[in-house]
Structure 1
Amino acid sequence: MNPRIHLLALGTFTVGTEGYVIAGVLPSVAHDLHSSVSVCGQLVTVFALVYALAGPPLIGLFHRVPPKRLLTGAALFFALANALAAIAPDLTVLAVARVLAALGAALFAAPAAATAAALCTPEELPRAISVTAGGNAVALTLGAPIGTVIGSALGWRASFWFVTLLAVLTAVAVRTGLPEVPPGGNAAAGRLGLLRRAPVRWGLATTFGLFLAAYGVYTYLDPVVHRATGLGSNGVAALMIVFGAGGLLAGRTASRLIARRGVAAVLRGALTLIAGLLAVLAALTVTDTPLISTAVVFPLVFAFGAAWWSGGIGQQTRLAGLAPDQRAQALGLHFSAQFLGVALGGGLGGLALSGVGPAAVPVVGGAVALLGLLSIRRVTPGPDTTAGAAAPAAAGQDTGPGPGQGTSVATGAV
């Protein structure tokens, strides 16, 4: 595999760090800007909603720009947006900075995945996409906890300066190390065509439900864990490391599980496990046993990270398999559904926190995960999804209603 693909992983690490670190500094932001944690949590909603809705048309607008130039510009724009967040005098300016950061992130993430595909052979595609997505897992394990510790020691503004530095380094690395790749064509028509396919729509519904359930809890991990265990910001930073470690483990094993059990079984298992873990977390918030809760919450969060990440890998594998000749468009729609789930997850979790209390946050997340099980349908291509697909589905995969065979999506972690 082309080693320069790792430069793209640096970019996904930077974007992921910015997206995750805010969960660890929300209480500090709320205190400094004279607001509540639930209101400041909507900064996550703003970022994700802008990414989900503006990303696809924005990428279409710049589809003729060479990827190397586009990725460099997107990283620099992302750096400027985070610098603005670091100096924001009030919540309004910080929200504007989050909007700009979302635009920069959207302009980087999907073109980065497409560039990774262009730099590898078809046989290397799953591994190449796994490497670029791996930057996000490292962001969970290292970037977000480091940023949270920096924010705890130097103030939340320092966390945004940290991301600004990472974005500048990404721009320099891409500009100096990435080869020139021809720009792709406008994929708007392809996306509309994919949305007409029922299996793709079911897949996007699963993505939305998975991230709605998980991110609604992750955004408010600090107040939920504090209520259950009494841990402060440093404890939450440690939990983020544990959470990311679970994701890294899942990244190494999920593709093998998909190959052995099928993508439908992995997705059902991930959503069921998330629901069960969140039920336990809710129980911990209403008991007055901080020592026991602390001992339980670390392995619980590790398993939560592994389940969430396994579901995400399963979803990318599923959608890439449903459109083998339109992977970039299908994964672009996956990212939009993902961030729409993140956006509404932040809002839903905030409503649960402010309306009922910390215990309600994991309860709502678990209920959404259970509902998401209803969308695990037609995970392999049928006659209406791809022309000429003839390979039978992998053993154990659920093709859902309707006859027909399709290209297997158990192709590895993408």
Structure 2
Amino acid sequence: MLNVPVKSWSSLALVLALGTFAVGTDAFVVAGFLPEMAASLHVSEAAAGQSVTVFAAAYAIGSPVLATLTARLPRRWLLVGALVVLGLANLGSALAPSLPVLIATRVLAALGAAAYTPNAGAVAASLVRPESRARALAVVVGGLTIATALGVPLGNVAAQWLGWRSALGLVAVLSVVVAAGVFAIMPWLPGGPRVPLRTRLAVLRHPAVVRVLPLTVLGMGAAYTAYAYSVPALEGVGVSAIGLMLFLYGVGAVTGNLLSGYATDRWGARRVLTIGYALMALTMGVLAWLAASGAVIPVGVGALMVVWGASSWCQTPPQQHRLISASPGEAALLVSLNSSAIYAGIGLGTVLGGLTLTSGASWMYGTAALLALAALAFTTSHPR
């Protein structure tokens, strides 16, 4: 644990969480206005959805590379710079005249996000005792899950009232404002030694790390296969109810994330993950059945959205806790690798969702259920 003079851990955690909220809003807000974006750029919804895939792929590849290139930078300057890049990239996305330009700005945004989130998590983990580490990570990751609660439905509302370009413009403003807050409150923390990327990635040979990262990819792939296309997938409940459904998903995501931090500290990561993946598989299976039968009951779908969100985002704190416990000295790198795995899973899910979109929502939900079952089997088949 670092010996850092922090006046109030809660204030610092709030600032870090606001930063991850800005990053999460940028990553997830596109799902709220995907149809409007596709129509404006004169492309299909599946093609527009690939902007999410490209963001995820750039994040997954860029995270460990940026962790190496920025290792010696003071943490405050790194976090502030990353948020400024995120803001400028979103401004570019808001002004993009075509899909190729949008894709390029989404890559830049992903690099800003990749530089911020892992380092924010590593700073949080380094400032608390080991027995409270999962809770600290849950607070910081909570910014991402709150973004799913507010960012996506607000993006949906903003797209309807202001247009999708204005929604991305608001994300740009939010990023810059949070950057100013991080600069004002974040204490000075030194960077680490410069370690070659090959040396850093040697941690991938650790058996515990090898078991954790593929599971993150599977779990996030299951969570995001249908969620990336949630607006068209939820058309059966009525256009006016889609925003509420997305908000309920976010409520479940926030609740699941926070509770999983406490549950991991008390009962262990493996038990939390087993319950989470089982609930996700069940929820996706029921949604697939409802979509296939046409028996869409808004109240029932709303309840399922809460469980879907909770099961999707309960996995991040225990996964990060397992990684950091395996090699505490490489906390920043391991968190960045897990972030890469998260976005690799999002990319996988988005590709699968785009491929199954034309076949109907039941196929998307069914594919997500199969991935969740694979994650459950992976979790239960490996020893502690």
Which band: TM-score by shorter chain?
over 0.9
Q: Residues 261 and 181 from structure 1, CA distance in 2 versus in 1: closer, same or farther, beyond 3 angstroms?
A: closer
Aligned CA distance change for structure 1 residues 360 and 168 (closer, same or farther; 3 Å): same
CA deviation after TM superposition for structure 1 residue 258, in Å: 3.2
- The answer to whether 1:252 aligns with 2:265 is no
Asked if residue 114 in structure 1 is aligned to residue 122 in structure 2, the reply is yes
Query: 2:138 touches 2:261 (CA, 8 Å); kept in 1?
Result: no
AA of the residue aligned to 2:218: G
Is contact 1:18–1:144 with CA below 8 Å preserved after alignment? no
- 1:278 is displaced (CA, Å) by 0.7
Select the residue among 230, 233, 243 that pairs with 1:237. 243
Per the alignment, residue 304 of structure 1 pairs with 308
Structure 2 residue 220 is the aligned partner of structure 1 residue 214: no
Q: Compute the TM-score of the two structures, normalised by the length of structure 2.
A: 0.92
2:4 alignment partner in structure 1: none
Task: Mark the runs of 5 or more structure 2 residues left unpaired by the alignment.
Answer: 1-7
Within-5 A mapping of 1:316-335: 316-335=320-339
Q: Partners in 2 of 1:29 and 1:250 — Cα distance?
A: 30
Structure 1 residue ranges (4+ consecutive) displaced by more than 3 angstroms after TM superposition = 117-127, 186-191, 255-262
- Name the SS of the counterpart of 2:314 in structure 1: helix
- RMSD over aligned CA atoms reads 1.9
Structure 1 unaligned runs (5+)? 380-397, 400-414
SS of aligned partner of 1:186? coil
Corresponding residue for residue 140 of structure 2: 132
Report the counterpart of residue 374 of structure 1 in structure 2: 377
The reply to whether residue 156 of structure 1 matches residue 159 of structure 2 is: no
Residue number in structure 2 paired with 1:205? 214
CA shift for structure 1 position 123: 5.6
- Partner SS for 2:328: coil
**Deviation for aligned residue 1:122:** 5.0
* 1:313 corresponding residue in structure 2: 317
> What amino acid sits opposite 1:359 in the alignment?
S
Percent of matched pairs sharing the same residue? 36
Structure that is richer in helix per residue: 2
Q: Distance in 2 between matches of 1:256 and 1:175?
A: 30
Task: State how far apart, in whole Å, the 2-side matches of 1:61 and 1:13 are.
Answer: 24
- Which stretch of the first structure deviates more once superposed, 120-129 or 164-173? 120-129
**Normalising by structure 1, what TM-score?**
0.86
Larger RCO (CA under 8 A, 6+ residues apart): 2
- Please give the alpha-carbon distance, in whole angstroms, between the structure 2 residues aligned to 1:340 and 1:204: 10
Deviations 1:346-404 (A, max 9, x none): 111100113x222211111111111122322697xxxxxxxxxxxxxxxxxx42xxxxx
Aligned 1:66-215 pairs, distance under 5 A: 66-120=74-128, 124-186=132-194, 188=197, 191-215=200-224
Contact 2:216–2:342 (CA<8 Å) still a contact in 1?
yes
The aligned counterpart of 2:5 is none
User: What CA distance in whole angstroms lies between the structure 2 residues aligned with 1:267 and 1:121?
Assistant: 23
Cα distance in 2 for partners of 1:268, 1:130 equals 18
Mapping for residues 354-369 of structure 1, pairs under 5 Å? 354=358, 356-369=359-372
Structure exhibiting the larger radius of gyration computed from Cα positions: 1
After superposition, the C-alpha distances for 1:293-340 in whole angstroms (9 at most, x for unaligned) are x12110001001111122222222222222233322222211111111
1:288 and 2:297 are equivalent in the alignment: no
Shift of residue 266 of structure 1?
A: 1.9
Rate the CA distance shift 1:178–1:262 in 2: closer, same or farther, 3 A. closer
> 2:137 & 2:199 partners in 1: Cα distance?
20
Determine whether 1:15 maps to 2:18: no
- The answer to whether the aligner puts 1:275 opposite 2:281 as a matched pair is yes
Aligned to 2:275, the other structure's residue is in SS state helix
